[in-house]
Structure 1
Amino acid sequence: MEFLLVLLRALSSLALAGVVGYIFHHYTTSWLKSQRLRKKIRMQGIKGPPPSFLYGNLPEMRQIQLKAKKTRNHTEIVAHDYTSTLFPYLDHWRKEYGLIYTYSTGLRQHLYVNDLEVLKEMNQSNTLHLGKDSYMTKALQPMLGNGIIRANGHLWAHQRKIIAPEFFMDKVKGMVGLMVESTEPLLKKWEAIIDAKGGLPAEINVDGDLRSVSADVIARACFGSSYVEGKQIFSKLRTIQTTITKQGFLFGLNNSRFLPNNKKISTLEREVELSIWETVKGRQPECLDTSSGRKDLMQLILEGAVNDDNVGNASPQKFIVDNCKNIYFAGYETTAITASWCLMLLALHPEWQSRIQAEVAQVCKNGLPDAESISRLKMVTMVIQETMRLYPAAAFVSREALQETRIGNILVPKGVCIWTLIPTLHRDPDIWGADAHEFKPDRFINGVSKACKSPQGYIPFGLGTRLCLGKNFAMVQLKVLISLIVSRFTFSLSPSYRHSPAFRMLVEPEHGVYIQIQKI
């Protein structure tokens, strides 16, 4: 009996040693592969911080992040440069190694690129070999599935072919009336709040209301439903988003990413997918009726899944649900956040409120934008462009070299992830001038090409073949929303407002945007 116990202990020790040996061998092999990639990059004259064994530059990143958090200056002054707080390690290395450098997170090798010439090459490239980075988007799978935001290669190209035409400008202009209708309840709600205070200025947190408007527009325009019907879908996607962000999905700086929050996310994921599929089934007879008139996006996605064999390994149902999730998220979240930042900046600069009010009165019949007047709202456009310069909703353009790819003079090895920090690019004095950190919409008076040194210095909607498909849709919706709000109300920043940009997949106001608002 004692011999058996000794034998079992020995076997257990051997098994444990085997597992440990396998893990060590796997990590060592992966580490050597990462080092080979780093060597290929460094041989091209690209430098970067020296990595530690297995962890790469993660320990240094954590150290820099903690130091930035401790030294953060909590003042009431609204300062627009937040990259040194949210991404201090990237800012720190840029100052040390320049506009192009390499670093690693664990076993992943990265290439930081904020050089205009390289970005120009990326913008002009139409290769499918630069795709979304798999390691990061894997964390986003519960929220996005394998829809157009995450997909790569021919599956992505197929999805783009289906979705892109719905957002061509001629179709978007036809949605202006719908956008005005979706904004009216918000205007009436704010007027009622002011009336309840006897006409005196009222404090409002705008974020939730702007999300409701944006969600209603995307639901009605693309899916033939309303925000009320899709409210649970939007709410659950928002919860998944915040939960994933808290797990430190970006570079693994938060160890909680390895803790079991997966059950909550999986439950929400199943509930969202079920809700979307129920909506799809309710629309199926209408969507498959070939005698119907103009088709909305859900109809196009449904047809694309049913009639094509290019949906990859996914079932038609998953293809439909995944792309609906992508559009629900991308279509409302980014627009609502940009609108919040826009109202914050206008609250700080009342002179621009006056200029917009005068323009809307002159250009829009009865103060309501329509398909004809929307393109003539120059002041509104300039303010939105400047808002997206200072506060782009997406902080990064990220790509993974799915095959060895040449970008200008750089040969990017397969597996290397390329990162461009958009807000740093947007506030670079060498590109924008000495006033790069100031809110000056007039810089866009002659368009983007005249506003900065190079058009590649302004990329709020990304760049290259993967430029945001909803760019026209977002711009028109923002014009409608901002012109209607500013033409009805005047507002200033509330004392309750705390300026603290936060990264939650997108850069948003951490504590919301509070304004003091009154009717004109």
Structure 2
Amino acid sequence: MIDLITESAITLQESWKSRIDQEGGVADINIDEDMRIFSGDVISRACFGSNFASGQVIFHKLRALQEAMSRKCLATGIPGMRHLPTKNRREAWGLEKEVRSLILQVVKQRVEGVHDDKDLLQMVLECTQSSDLSQAETDKFIEWQESVRAEVLQVCGGQIPDVDMLRKMKQLTTVIHESLRLYPPVSVVSREAFKDMKFAGIHVPKGVNLWIMVLTLHTDPEVWGPDAYKFNPERFANGITGACKLPHLYMPFGVGPRVCLGQNLAMIELKLLVALILSKFSFSLSSKYCHKPAIRLVIEPEQGVNLLVKKL
């Protein structure tokens, strides 16, 4: 996967270099769509290979499905309302059906064919077959950027990072963990009680859904200390266990049997991408940037992230 991620990251680098040259040395870039394109590019290369175009189509459909499911509904939580065929729900149902059909088509072609390559899709299919499971401030921004860049240059020495180099980037890892603590992709973890139970003295009847607010757990001063709302990567200097009183409450990718299957790949992607772009560019916040996190299907910046990007 390292080679595929690097290939996609270099494509992103070249795109930014071109924009910087066109805009006179500094480009004001809203990086959101670029990050999505990078991620979709990696998954498409990893899972679909020669069917790269099919992977791109599926990824864009999934993004449309995410946006449709993220739209707020005043009737949320009223029993039975989720089955009401509103315009938004019909759109989401149609996209879900289309995505499922496209994925199954690619999987069928893969199962019926002969593939010697151990790509990501092949490993997922083999695992499925062998498994019995069902399945804040600008100054600080610059300061941590410089710190991570120094680590990248020291560890990599100007080379493309490999997996051993990524393991040695402790400073980068702490910055990613702290970012995921304050802005976890998963905003809520929900579980249904399959039987009557008592939890901390509270009676929970069978069939009730319990919602766990991840962001609340990630910013609880009793768990993380008095600076729980501040960006402080140093709290993760000794790993997740040393960062808080109850390490199992750190759950940026969910928790338990339904934890995100792609969390390790996502962490490798993040480390490699950040290492590569920090070795080539410097960043500062654009005057267009508006800090406005939005809780949708995932937590994301409502107005995007605008950065001033300059070649080193």
Which bin holds the TM-score, normalised by the shorter protein? 0.7 to 0.9
Superposed, 1:394-413 pairs within 5 Å as: 394-405=186-197, 412-413=204-205
Superposed, 1:40-119 pairs within 5 Å as: none
Q: CA RMSD in A?
A: 3.0
Counterpart in the other structure of 2:101? 274
Q: Are the aligned partners of 1:499 and 1:509 in contact in 2 as well (CA < 8 Å)?
A: yes
Judged with a 3 Å threshold, the aligned counterparts in structure 2 of structure 1 residues 506 and 237 are, in CA distance, closer, same or farther, namely same
Deviation at 1:363, TM superposition (A): 0.8
Counterpart in the other structure of 1:242? 67
Deviation at 1:241, TM superposition (A): 1.8
Counterpart in the other structure of 1:215? 40
- The answer as to 2:263 corresponding to 1:491 is no
Equivalent of 1:474 in 259, 266, 270: 266
- The answer as to 2:224 corresponding to 1:432 is yes
Normalised by the size of structure 2, how large is the TM-score?
0.87
Query: C-alpha distance in 2, partners of 1:440/1:355?
Result: 13
Equivalent of 1:382 in 174, 186, 195: 174
CA distances 1:265-291 after superposition (whole Å, capped 9, x unpaired): 3433343233324433443444x55xx
The SS at the match of 2:266 is: helix
Amino acid at match of 1:190: W
- The answer as to 2:300 corresponding to 1:508 is yes
Q: Which has the larger radius of gyration?
A: 1
Q: Are the aligned partners of 2:218 and 2:250 in contact in 1 as well (CA < 8 Å)?
A: yes
Superposed, 1:188-203 pairs within 5 Å as: 188-198=14-24, 200-203=25-28
Q: Are the aligned partners of 1:202 and 1:516 in contact in 2 as well (CA < 8 Å)?
A: yes
Counterpart in the other structure of 2:233? 441
Superposed, 1:57-456 pairs within 5 Å as: 175-198=1-24, 200-224=25-49, 228-248=53-73, 251-252=76-77, 258=84, 259-286=86-113, 288=114, 292=116, 294=118, 296-298=120-122, 300-301=124-125, 304=128, 349-405=141-197, 412-456=204-248
The SS at the match of 2:283 is: strand
Amino acid at match of 2:219: R
Deviation at 1:298, TM superposition (A): 4.2
The SS at the match of 2:290 is: coil
The SS at the match of 1:447 is: coil
The SS at the match of 2:310 is: strand
Deviation at 1:408, TM superposition (A): 6.5
Which deviates more from structure 2 when the two are superposed, residues 223-232 or residues 465-474?
223-232
Query: C-alpha distance in 2, partners of 1:276/1:264?
Result: 18
Deviation at 1:445, TM superposition (A): 0.9
CA distances 1:20-55 after superposition (whole Å, capped 9, x unpaired): xxxxxxxxxxxxxxxxxxxxxxxxxxxxxxxxxxxx
Q: Are the aligned partners of 1:427 and 1:437 in contact in 2 as well (CA < 8 Å)?
A: yes
The SS at the match of 1:434 is: coil
Query: C-alpha distance in 2, partners of 1:362/1:234?
Result: 36
The SS at the match of 1:451 is: coil
Query: C-alpha distance in 2, partners of 1:464/1:400?
Result: 14
Q: Are the aligned partners of 2:291 and 2:301 in contact in 1 as well (CA < 8 Å)?
A: yes
Deviation at 1:452, TM superposition (A): 1.5
Q: Are the aligned partners of 1:219 and 1:225 in contact in 2 as well (CA < 8 Å)?
A: no
Stretches of structure 2 that go unaligned for 5 or more consecutive residues are: none
Judged with a 3 Å threshold, the aligned counterparts in structure 2 of structure 1 residues 252 and 509 are, in CA distance, closer, same or farther, namely same
Q: Are the aligned partners of 2:217 and 2:250 in contact in 1 as well (CA < 8 Å)?
A: yes
The SS at the match of 2:56 is: helix
Q: Are the aligned partners of 1:194 and 1:518 in contact in 2 as well (CA < 8 Å)?
A: yes
Query: C-alpha distance in 2, partners of 1:473/1:281?
Result: 24
Judged with a 3 Å threshold, the aligned counterparts in structure 2 of structure 1 residues 263 and 435 are, in CA distance, closer, same or farther, namely closer
Query: C-alpha distance in 2, partners of 1:497/1:250?
Result: 33
Amino acid at match of 1:296: L
Query: C-alpha distance in 1, partners of 2:6/2:75?
Result: 37
Normalised by the size of structure 1, how large is the TM-score?
0.54
Deviation at 1:377, TM superposition (A): 0.7
The SS at the match of 2:211 is: strand
Amino acid at match of 2:151: E
Query: C-alpha distance in 1, partners of 2:281/2:208?
Result: 49
Judged with a 3 Å threshold, the aligned counterparts in structure 2 of structure 1 residues 270 and 416 are, in CA distance, closer, same or farther, namely closer
| Identity of matched residues, % | 42
Deviation at 1:404, TM superposition (A): 3.2
Query: C-alpha distance in 2, partners of 1:222/1:247?
Result: 32
The SS at the match of 1:366 is: coil
Query: C-alpha distance in 2, partners of 1:303/1:477?
Result: 21
Q: Are the aligned partners of 1:216 and 1:226 in contact in 2 as well (CA < 8 Å)?
A: no
Q: Are the aligned partners of 1:347 and 1:491 in contact in 2 as well (CA < 8 Å)?
A: no
Amino acid at match of 2:21: D
Judged with a 3 Å threshold, the aligned counterparts in structure 2 of structure 1 residues 303 and 398 are, in CA distance, closer, same or farther, namely closer
Deviation at 1:225, TM superposition (A): 5.2
Query: C-alpha distance in 2, partners of 1:464/1:262?
Result: 29
CA distances 1:127-177 after superposition (whole Å, capped 9, x unpaired): xxxxxxxxxxxxxxxxxxxxxxxxxxxxxxxxxxxxxxxxxxxxxxxx222
